[in-house]
Amino acid sequence: MSARELARKYGVVIRFTDLGEWGEHELRSEYDPALPEIRVHVRLAPELVAFAIGHELYHHREAIGEVSLLPTRAAREAAADAYARELTATEG
């Protein structure tokens, strides 16, 4: 199942928008659990979109209690990246 299909299954809206400038670090996407919504930076290279969606879907899974909240932000971000890599590897 693709990242976009999985987002639909979870009921998470994907919106492309300008996330602005973040200095030396690029903000590719962000997750808002209140909606729930994943906002993807409009300037993100197309080949990175599925990875960004997968990364934020991991955070959605945290928010709904499907995966445990890890103790540090660094651990949560690393887990989100690993999940996105696994998800996008199956997209072929």
* DSSP for the chain, written as a single string: --HHHHHHHHT-EEEEE-----TTS---EEEETTTTEEEEETTS-HHHHHHHHHHHHHHHHHHTTSSPPPSSHHHHHHHHHHHHHHHHHTT-
Residue 92 has pLDDT above 80, yes or no: no
Identify the pLDDT of residue 25. 79
pLDDT digits (tens, 9 = 90+) for 61-81: 999 999 999 999 999 999 999
**pTM given for the model:** 0.93
pLDDT digits (tens, 9 = 90+) for 8-60: 999 999 999 999 887 777 899 999 999 999 999 999 999 999 999 999 999 99
Identify the pLDDT of residue 17. 96
